[in-house]
Amino acid sequence: MDLKNLLNKEQYNAVVTIDGPLLILAGAGSGKTRVLTYRIAHMIKDLSIYPSKILAITFTNKAAGEMKDRVRKLVGKEADNMWISTFHSSCVRILRREIDKLGYNKNFAIYDSYDQKVLVKQCMEELNIDDKFISDREIINKISNQKDNLISPTKYKNKVGNNKNDRLDKIADVYILYQKKLKNNNALDFDDLIYKTVQLFKENSDVLEFYQRKFKYIMVDEYQDTNKSQYELIRLLAKEHKNICVVGDDDQCIYEWRGADIRNILDFEKDYPAAKIIKLEQNYRSKGNILKAANDIIKNNSERKTKILRTENEDGDKIKLYKAYSDIDEGMYVSNEIKKLCRTENRKYRDFAILYRTNAQSRVFEDTFMKNNIPYRIIGGLKFYDRKEIKDIMSYLKFINNPLDDVSLKRIINEPKRSIGNTTVDKIQKFAISMNECMYSVLLDIEEVINLPKRSITSIKKFVSLINSFIRSKDEISVSSLIKEILESTGYLDKLKTSKDADSVSRIENLKELVSAAVEFENSSEDRSLSAFLEKVTLVSDIDNFDENSDTVVIMTVHSAKGLEFPVVFMVGMENGIFPGSQSLDNPGEMEESRRLCYVGITRAKEKLYMTSAETRRIFGRMVSYGQSDFIDEISSSLKEYDNGGRENFRNKPSLHNTFSLMSKVDNKMSYGLQNKTINKVESKNENELKLENIKAGIKVKHNKFGIGTIVSVNKNGSGIKLTIAFDKRGIKNLMYGVAQLEAV
């Protein structure tokens, strides 16, 4: 391959550097996928390295599929002999071969977030933990965090025991029981896939040595997004040969809130002192002014490696700023601009993306787009595999594949209705727990083990007979045929056909789509087993289903947009308190992550970028007024222009970083003023609302979510008044006065 003519100088150096540790700092739009694919092709075609010796790790199935397709075009079918997959898919592949060494069967189930929640709730019930004291979501997040940091249930229990914190102690008890139940169900949750692989390697040196020999060359994409468990997995695999190439951009580390550790990429040279560093700074995606704006913002971060994006593209339009009267006005402006650009520049709806900080901001744009007949789709809404009818049939498939899976059994045992009520299921479950057996084992001998009504026993026997027939069929027929058999034999499809519910037709269509998905899987996969299908479905992410050819406006969070690009981008809700969020304003570390998120949003735009804000908007039912985002102020004035019909003076409105603006409601009209420069007052109809003059340590207050609490401390600073409150049942919280709804008690 004539690499010098195919790549720029920096890309070429990255492609031909094969041996030893290599850090490729790839700025947004700098062609990192091109570098990775040509690097693999160079290794296989020019250096005659066996494809099976190469492991390439990405973060999404979409990225893995794209990379594999590109490599296949360069080297042919040899690409099929190497591993190009996500962290989780690679770990599943290893665990399917080796997990028996950890005491699991190789046909283990992979629990999704729904299954995980069901099991955690069951643990809470058995341990008599009130969900008003600790929510299942808090427990799930805490357990996930421990696994990401490779902390076992026993280790966590010992750690929190020393702190004498009753709340954390109960979470530790749930963690212990939850992990025990997972193993009894022969199941792993999503975090376990990496956690258990690392455990496997650390406890079985022969297994680790096998995979170290197998993968002589390792490449990791999006290295800035790795957490501790992913970092440790790669460290173990690369320890023998140290031929590790990581590609990433510290300026695009936006997942610290879910465990990503930016130090992994910033400290790469400390882990590998002999590492070579190559910077890819030439951007092939965006117009010049867009890149200059991105550089203006990100240079304000201190925790970063210095690099400046450059491009040979023309400067293009300035960044358009719009200061709306309200969030409704903001939605109308975006709609009108999309209509105008479609009309005057012959653009398609798929050219546009609306990016926001939180999913709650989507409603106004949905309403406005519907009124204006603008087709749209939301990335991050209800996923196909989260719909009830799909989860029901998927639970049948999971249980058929793994009869130890009590969570899936409980979902399907009376779906559709077959006279096996909750009371009967509870009896079966309690007996199974007492005998330390799975529930299906109890069902197989139902007459002998539990005293139940004859009608229930008859229904259970029919159910068992049905499941046994499916289990016998699973290795003899295709997955799509098995799904059809389940739909027909269980009466699930007939129930929907005779139902008078308005959504029955759409549910039937969804089930047909599930059959189509199975057929597509059978046509495109070498391994057509039920286990392989379940893995593919469980590991799919929302962004994997993104269809860039669908002619609709895309609405999504900035987090979801990472890795994508659009000709025209609207970054909406650019206000202090929203983007950046209010918590970021007092925390330098969080502010840097918010700035990186803004940088990611800006660099999604290829040709045009809009940044909009609103003087007032409704949040959680209340009207609030925030200042324009500090991030807009960080962009040089020569790069931006207001599109407000002479309302440019709004850019000088005080930012939340210096002052909270005030708003009060008088005779249904909004009047603005700076009655108090440190408080953001919101519309309120509550006579008991906590007054500013009553705020002091020691007084009792009430919060609509956290309940009754006592103010511990009052801290006045440049961004408002922060209250530290010890709530009776929800622990200590830090809240901003004027933002949190507080009542005097």
- Report the C-alpha gap between 595 and 418 in whole angstroms: 55
Radius of gyration for the chain, computed over Cα atoms and rounded to the nearest angstrom? 28
- Provide φ and ψ at 96, rounded to 5°: -60, -30
Contact (CB, 8 A) for 113 and 383: no
Contacts made by residues 387-395, CB under 8 angstroms, sequence distance 24+: 387/507, 387/510, 388/507, 389/492, 389/496, 389/507, 389/510, 389/511, 390/510, 390/511, 390/514, 391/114, 392/492, 393/483, 393/486, 393/487, 393/492, 393/511, 393/514, 394/534, 394/537
Catalytic residue among 11, 37, 86, 252: 252
- Provide φ and ψ at 496, rounded to 5°: -70, -35
Binding residue per annotation — 30?
A: yes
Is 522 a catalytic site residue? Answer: no
Distant-in-sequence, close-in-space partners of 491: CB < 8 Å, separation ≥ 6: 416
Catalytic residue among 387, 604, 606, 608: 604
Is 222 a catalytic site residue? Answer: yes
Is 32 a catalytic site residue? Answer: yes
Binding residue per annotation — 33?
A: yes
Contact (CB, 8 A) for 552 and 335: no
Catalytic residue among 32, 196, 304, 418: 32
Hey, which bits of 47-168 come out as E strands? 54-58, 83-86, 109-111
Instruction: Look up tokens 């729904």; give the residue.
Output: 114
Catalytic residue among 112, 222, 249, 261: 222
Is 252 a catalytic site residue? Answer: yes
- Report the C-alpha gap between 602 and 596 in whole angstroms: 10
Binding residue per annotation — 28?
A: yes
Report residue 642 CA to chain centroid gap. 34
Burial of 16 (0-12, 13-18, 19+ CB in 10 A): middle
- Amino acid letter for position 162: N
Binding residue per annotation — 491?
A: no
Binding residue per annotation — 26?
A: yes
Is 604 a catalytic site residue? Answer: yes
Binding residue per annotation — 29?
A: yes
Binding residue per annotation — 27?
A: yes
Distant-in-sequence, close-in-space partners of 29: CB < 8 Å, separation ≥ 6: 283, 284, 285, 286, 309, 565, 603
Binding residue per annotation — 490?
A: no
Catalytic residue among 221, 405, 406, 542: 221
Is 411 a catalytic site residue? Answer: no
DSSP characters for 248-276?
Answer: E-GGG---GGGT--THHHHTHHHH-TT-E
Active-site residue list: 32-33, 221-222, 252, 604
Q: Which residues are annotated as a binding site?
A: 26-33
Q: Which residues are annotated as a binding site for ATP?
A: 26-33
